Structure 1
């Protein structure tokens, strides 16, 4: 049985959930992938913990100050990095340094935070290609909702013509509450913050930037579109007024914050903004904290996926889906390299 060493950089709620789920699934990895998965290092911004024999769940609460940074992860001997740190698409955030270090060394990487991929996606993809490392990002591209997976696998034989995505759970909840419960924006936001599923500073969500970042990742990693945030027209939901809500109710329309992408004549156009849908449209029924994506293709028509999940568990599971892809690919490489028939 082969030993596979995993490190997690970024140890907030999502990083901890990923570690817990990873350790709980070790028997599955043994049975399905013939792999002994060992969590050899975890770290936050200022503290971490490492053990070459593998960390157990009971030890993850007592991180040691000073154990952090790309060099700490490299010294752990990890084969795979899971990057789950804070996301900042304007600078790449702390994740960018971790990913550059890992990919340049040929270490496979699973990315949960969007910032580094939005900021430096082409550079990181080039690093992965040159070193032979795998770079996976299900957790960053709408987590529990399958997005890039649909394009890369289910719709592989098609040309994607258009994408519409309800990609941000917070704004979907806010618009839903404003429509169904007659709440104002501020009241709906306060309720979401009190419930713990809206950030104290919600502007990345409410101004549309979170949706924009996810759309850029879907476009670039799923379609090789080469978009940047500057290529998108981005509007949020802050300008939605009571009169808009009343008009939509009267017209039986449902508002959604949507990331949209259209491909035609070799060009790709993308935007984020509020769209309204009639009750006959499936996207009108994506309520609360659910997310959805509709992909229109030349040969298979429309494919719609709707998903939700309890956070941070859903994002952790999306990251570990990527781990299983990597384990499968590693096994295939090993078989091919040994000269066995396939």
Structure 2
């Protein structure tokens, strides 16, 4: 029986759910892969827990002050880091130093937050390559929707010609509410908050930045490009008025905030903005908090995936899908 020691940095709702889901699957890992997957450390910004023989779910309710930081994770003896902290693509924090330290030490990393990957993706890829570590990020690229999997596995060998993605659930819910009920932006946002579909500060979502981050990760980690945020034209949904929504509805069009990538004359073009679709298009039927991706390739034509799941469970499951793939590669 092999032993794999796992640490989680970032212990908010997603981090806690990931820990609980991992612990619930321990017997599955033993039976299928012959691996004893132990959660040996967790930490938030100010506190954490450690147990070299593995933490139990009953221990996760109360963290100990000052057990935090990259050095704490390193001292836990973890073989693999799951980074699930808050996400700031402008600074890379707070996950960047955790990932830098782990990858430099040759530790495999599963990343849920987007910030460090957008801010310092090239450096992190180079660290992983130099140390032989594996870097996985399904949870950061639309979570339950299989985006990187489609590019890396399902369309392997094909040349991707273009990608369109409805990658942000909050804006999809808002546009649905505005279009279906004739609401203005502020009214739709109030409804989204009341139903738990929007952050207290939703600007990263509504201004298009979250979609832009996911598109960048898909381009850089899935297609091998080297785009930065400066290479994208990014627009959000603030300009949508009840009158504009009514005009689209009259024409039988459905608006979506879409991240788009295409190749033109050998160069990659990427943008985020509103596109409208006739009701005959599958994108017109992506409702509520669901997401979707459309990939056009040279040999397999058009591939579409639509899906979504309840958060934070869906994101936690996406991260542990990455863990499952690592176990398959190393122990199956």
Shorter-chain TM-score range: over 0.9
TM-score for the superposition, normalised by structure 2: 0.99
Give the match for residue 340 of structure 1: none
CA contact (8 A) 2:34 2:331 kept: no
Which SS does the other structure have where 1:93 is aligned?
coil
The CA distance in 2 between the partners of 1:197 and 1:284, in whole Å, is: 20
Structure 1 distance, partners of 2:233, 2:158, is 27
Aligned equivalents of 2:134, 2:33: Cα separation in 1? 17
Q: Which moved more, 1:43-52 or 1:178-187?
A: 178-187
Report the counterpart of residue 270 of structure 2 in structure 1.
270
Distance 1:181 1:310 in 2: 24
SS at match of 2:249: helix
Match of 2:50 in 1: 50
Structure 1, residues 202-250: CA drift from partner, whole Å, max 9, x if none? 0000000000000000000000111101100000001111111011011
**Hey, what's the Cα distance between the residues in 2 that align with 1:115 and 1:243?**
36
- The aligned counterpart of 2:261 is 261
Q: Which runs of 5+ in 2 are unaligned?
A: none
In 2, are the aligned partners of 1:6 and 1:38 still within 8 Å (CA)? yes
Query: 1:300 & 1:108 partners in 2: Cα distance?
Result: 32
Equivalence for 1:185: 185
**Aligned twin of 1:161:** 161
Aligned equivalent of 2:216: 216
Could you give the per-residue CA deviations for residues 294-340 of structure 1, whole angstroms, max 9, x where no partner exists? 000111110000011000000000000000111122227xxxxxxxx
Report the Cα offset of residue 264 of structure 1: 3.1
C-alpha separation in 2, matches of 1:164 and 1:21: 31
TM-fit CA distance, 1:81: 0.1
Number of matched residues? Answer: 332
* 1:276 to partner: Cα distance: 0.2
Correspondence for 1:289? 289
Please state if 1:205 is matched with 2:205: yes
1:237 pairs with 2:252: no
TM-score by length of 1: 0.96
Contact 2:289 2:308 in 1 (8 A): yes
CA distance in 1 between partners of 2:6 and 2:159 (Å): 36
For the residue of structure 1 that corresponds to 2:100, the secondary structure is helix
SS of 2:276's partner is: strand
> SS of the counterpart of 2:153?
helix
Q: Tell me, yes or no, if the aligned pair for 1:161 and 1:264 is still in contact at 8 Å.
A: no
Q: Which residue in 1 is equivalent to 2:306? A: 306
Q: What RMSD, in angstroms, separates the aligned Cα atoms of the two structures?
A: 0.7
Whether the aligned pair in 2 keeps the contact of 1:261 and 1:271 (CA below 8 Å) is yes
SS in 1 for 2:94: helix
| Cα contact 1:257–1:274 (8 A) shared by 2 | yes
